[in-house]
Chain A
Amino acid sequence: NAGVTQTPKFRVLKTGQSMTLLCAQDMNHEYMYWYRQDPGMGLRLIHYSVGEGTTAKGEVPDGYNVSRLKKQNFLLGLESAAPSQTSVYFCASSLSSGGWGEQFFGPGTRLTVL
């Protein structure tokens, strides 16, 4: 049981390049989330999904797109990377929402945009 995995672990992009971050979970969780973590800002929610084929915006969605074509995968895309998107990105999943929605996190992707 691998839990939540993320690929890649590290990436360096130039301004304007695009890339996709992959998150996979093997716990059959319905809910998946993408966060970014920045020094002094804490973790902030980018987008989330409440089930296969559905996505919604979180607190800081601008510049990102997501897709959830399969229940176990949640993709985060950057169409035109900017230096402000330099951050550590975490994916998380939970079986349910609300009171019993304990979230489990992946190891993170460290992204640098030059």
Chain B
Amino acid sequence: KQEVTQIPAALSVPEGENLVLNCSFTDSAIYNLQWFRQDPGKGLTSLLLIQSSQREQTSGRLNASLDKSSGRSTLYIAASQPGDSATYLCAVTPSGAGSYQLTFGKGTKLSVIP
């Protein structure tokens, strides 16, 4: 069974710092990996989707990388801002049977201190 782990569970950084969030998964047979942002009491906002054949995706100050063979992904946030404070979730779509079901990590709660 696919398991997704995000470490650390919480992270606090001063404004302006560059930071990296980590995501690992146990089964490398995936179609894609998706990073989401969740604000308190809100839904999930899709940030980046990386296909299994891709190594990275970029959107503004965000850069996500994928190393499928080692079961790892990182989300890099450049020049962090207080508005980046949220919980970040990663999720993988398994390839083959069950390709509809995202398996989520439990998230990293990020606090950016002004």
Does A102 sit at the interface, judged by CB under 8 A? yes
Partner among B31, B43, B89, B104 whose Cβ is within 8 Å of the Cβ of A98:
B31
A4 to B43, CA, bound (A): 10
Complex interface residues of chain B between 62 and 111 (CB less than 8 A to chain A): 89, 91, 93, 95, 99-102, 104-107
A88 to B95, CA, bound (A): 27
Does B22 sit at the interface, judged by CB under 8 A? no
Which residues from chain A contact B101 at a C-beta distance below 8 Å? 45, 48, 58-59
Contact between chains at B42 and A31 (CB < 8 Å): no
Does B7 sit at the interface, judged by CB under 8 A? no
Does B49 sit at the interface, judged by CB under 8 A? yes
Contact between chains at A31 and B49 (CB < 8 Å): no
Partner among A42, A101, A102 whose Cβ is within 8 Å of the Cβ of B100:
A101
Category for how many chain A residues contact B: 20 to 34
Q: Which residues of B contact A (CB under 8 A)?
A: 31-32, 34, 36, 41-46, 49, 51-53, 89, 91, 93, 95, 99-102, 104-107
Q: List 27 A-B contacts (CB under 8 A).
A: A33-B100, A33-B102, A40-B106, A41-B106, A42-B107, A43-B44, A43-B91, A48-B100, A50-B100, A58-B101, A90-B44, A92-B44, A97-B93, A98-B31, A98-B32, A98-B95, A99-B31, A100-B51, A101-B100, A103-B46, A104-B46, A105-B36, A105-B43, A107-B42, A107-B43, A108-B41, A108-B43
